[in-house]
Chains A and B, each alone.
Chain A
Amino acid sequence: QVQLEESGGGVVQPGRSLRLSCTASGFIFRNFAIHWVRQAPGKGLEWVTVIWYDGSVKFFADSVKGRFTISRDNSKNTVILQMNSLRVEDTAVYYCARDHNGDGLGYFDYWGHGALVTVSS
Chain B
Amino acid sequence: SYVLTQPPSVSVAPGETATITCERKTAGSYSVQWYQQKPGQAPVLVIYSYSDRPSGIPERFSGSNSGNTATLTISRVEAGDEADYYCQVWDTSTYHFVFGSGTKVTVL
Measured CB to CB, the closest approach of chain A to B33, in angstroms, equals 4
Nearest CB to that of A93 among chain B residues? B42
Give the distance in Å from the alpha carbon of A112 to the alpha carbon of B90 in the complex. 20
Give the distance in Å from the alpha carbon of A112 to the alpha carbon of B44 in the complex. 10
Q: Is the CB of A107 within 8 A of B86?
A: no
Q: Is the CB of B88 within 8 A of A44?
A: no
Specify which of A45, A95, A100 is in contact with B102 (CB 8 Å cutoff).
A45
Q: Is the CB of A61 within 8 A of B96?
A: yes
A50 at the interface (CB under 8 A from B): yes
Give the distance in Å from the alpha carbon of A76 to the alpha carbon of B5 in the complex. 39
Nearest CB to that of B48 among chain A residues? A107
Summed over the interface, the residue pairs from A and B with CB atoms below 8 Å come to a total of: 53
Contact with B along A42-60 (1 / 0, CB 8 A): 0011110010000000010
Q: Is the CB of A108 within 8 A of B96?
A: no
The size bracket of the interface on B is: 20 to 34
Q: Is the CB of A108 within 8 A of B30?
A: no
B43 at the interface (CB under 8 A from A): yes
Contact with B along A4-34 (1 / 0, CB 8 A): 0000000000000000000000000000000
Q: Is the CB of A44 within 8 A of B86?
A: yes
Measured CB to CB, the closest approach of chain B to A73, in angstroms, equals 23
B101 at the interface (CB under 8 A from A): yes
Q: Which of A95, A106, A112, A114 has the most CB of B within 10 A?
A: A106
Measured CB to CB, the closest approach of chain B to A33, in angstroms, equals 11
